[in-house]
Chain A
């Protein structure tokens, strides 16, 4: 398996522009997670989906952030408009999870976002 695939790997954009990050989870996994990692805050869970349905989006910083999972093999995280404080590494992870307990998550390589 190719693992979790994220694109782009690097994104540099100007403040005010729309940014879309993409993720393809591992085939057969039914949970998908978006994280943000910065030096100041460490690793933060933004939102996660189970069977394509958003379960918890309490980590989404504000209305400028939105995430979708239209099908089991694709998810997007959109920032509109972007701000310099959004600069971070964004990770996508997937797992085969169920309500009975936690399963390990497999992380993608991340997207390094720089907003100038």
Chain B
């Protein structure tokens, strides 16, 4: 069965510093992987998705993620954090019929 593990439940950074949110996946074949973001009291928004076309995936708001098969990782990064990036981030894997399996989430706090 496919699954994802988010390695940090909370990450705190200062505004203007890099962001790294870690995610490892478990899959017996080429996975479908996504990152979603949820701002407080809002729905979930797709940041980016991996579809095997390229290992480095660029998403919205300056985020990107790199698929590393050797490490079974799909970490989310951003060069410079902004206050508006404060939210909860979910690493997600997909199965047939589009069913998604969500990680436990990482809460990102951005300090001025």
Instruction: Report A's interface with B, CB cutoff 8 A.
Output: 31, 33, 42-43, 45, 48, 50, 55-56, 91, 93, 95-110
Work out how many contacts link A and B, with CB atoms closer than 8 A. 64
Give the CA-CA distance A106 to B36 in the complex, in Å. 10
Residues of A within 8 A of B105 (CB): 42-43
Residue B11 is within 8 A (CB to CB) of chain A in the complex: no
Residues of A within 8 A of B97 (CB): 31, 48, 50, 55, 97-99
Give 11 pairs: A residue, B residue, CB < 8 Å, sorted on A: A42-B102, A42-B105, A45-B99, A96-B98, A98-B97, A102-B98, A102-B99, A103-B32, A105-B46, A107-B43, A107-B45
Instruction: Report B's interface with A, CB cutoff 8 A.
Output: 32, 34, 36, 42-46, 49, 90, 93-100, 102, 104-105
Q: Are A104 and B99 interface neighbours, CB within 8 A?
A: no
Give the CA-CA distance A15 to B106 in the complex, in Å. 33
If over half of B's interface residues share one DSSP class (helix, strand or loop), that class is named, otherwise mixed; here it is strand
Q: Are A105 and B43 interface neighbours, CB within 8 A?
A: no
**Interchain CB contact (< 8 A) of A102 among B90, B100, B104:** B100
